[in-house]
Chains A and B, each alone.
Chain A
């Protein structure tokens, strides 16, 4: 008889517990927009959005103050892409984020003081030119060009870093150096240089994807 009572008590308790396990029907943490020019809640020792915004803005303004680039009688044709912009650092990042922002910022700000060549679209342009010349499509509204535009200057550069870690505390430190150079495509002269550098330390690094 006692065993039956005990079994009933266990079953009742179990049922009561099961009744407690309900769906937590509340909203989750909302997505929060943050200013990309300011460090957000997730921060490590690598290159982050505020660094990309800061370095591209700084380089753009510096280039616009250089007479050779923006005060020439004939505006130079400039190629800015990541083809010769190398990431040799321990930071994982897409180099296009830097070169795209720099090119777009410069193109909007230059207002004709420089001309920009989309060399990364050369294949797209070549295909369309071929279709036009084959007569597959008509010639379009604008006059035909003898050839695609060549570049006078092209952006080159390098991202490097120096990492150090304290084995006792686990604290990590990284010095990042980003070099931007504008190369004369006839003479290989470096006509403009810019550097952006910073060092950050943190107890534990975060994962960049």
Chain B
């Protein structure tokens, strides 16, 4: 009985430590099956997307090197006096070492289409165990409804 319990416990522990994959999560099997069915890149109406959707108005850490090192604590957005949108994110460096990361923001309109080009990558020096702010302004004013922040390690 004990001989069975030990490996079972080990497996459970390993499951708890499973690594986090950075976004986007693409089911390539489903992508290829949809390519067979439609002539163009458009999705088939009514079919579930092969892409695990990334929620808008959030931050997506797209780099496996830092996904288990940083945490985006809070994100807020506000309209400026000119109607553009400012997003502010607080990034926590959970390690005992300084990190260099960079982030950019893609703004979307009400139809969930990109309303403007994504911002340039903005560098963030993340001191060890500290919170660092990231902010970005949109170009457009009333067309902007949503945003998605992407973050990666600076190389």
Contact = CB atoms under 8 A, between A and B. Distances in A.
**Does A pair with B?**
yes
Interface string B114-155: 001001111100000000000011111000000000000001
Contacts of A71: 81-83
Interface in A59-110: 60-62, 64-67, 70-71, 109
B80 interface: yes
Contacts, number: 46
A58 B121 contact: no
B84 interface: yes
Contacts of A64: 82, 84, 137, 139
Nearest to B120: A57
A38 interface: yes
Nearest to A199: B125
Contacts of B119: 57, 61
Which of A37, A39, A57, A198 lies at the interface centre, i.e. has the most chain B CB atoms within 10 A of its CB?
Answer: A57
Interface residues of A, number: 21
Contacts of A50: 121
B139 to A, nearest CB: 4
B82 A70 contact: yes
A53 B122 CA distance: 10
B86 interface: yes
B155 A39 contact: yes
Interface in B73-97: 80-84, 86
Nearest to B80: A65
B122 A54 contact: yes
B121 A38 contact: yes
Contacts of A109: 116, 139-140
Given A56-B120, A109-B116, 4 more contacts: A37-B120, A37-B121, A62-B137, A65-B86
Interface of A: 37-39, 50, 53-54, 56-58, 60-62, 64-67, 70-71, 109, 113, 198
10 contacts: A50-B121, A53-B120, A54-B121, A57-B119, A57-B120, A64-B84, A65-B80, A67-B81, A109-B140, A113-B82
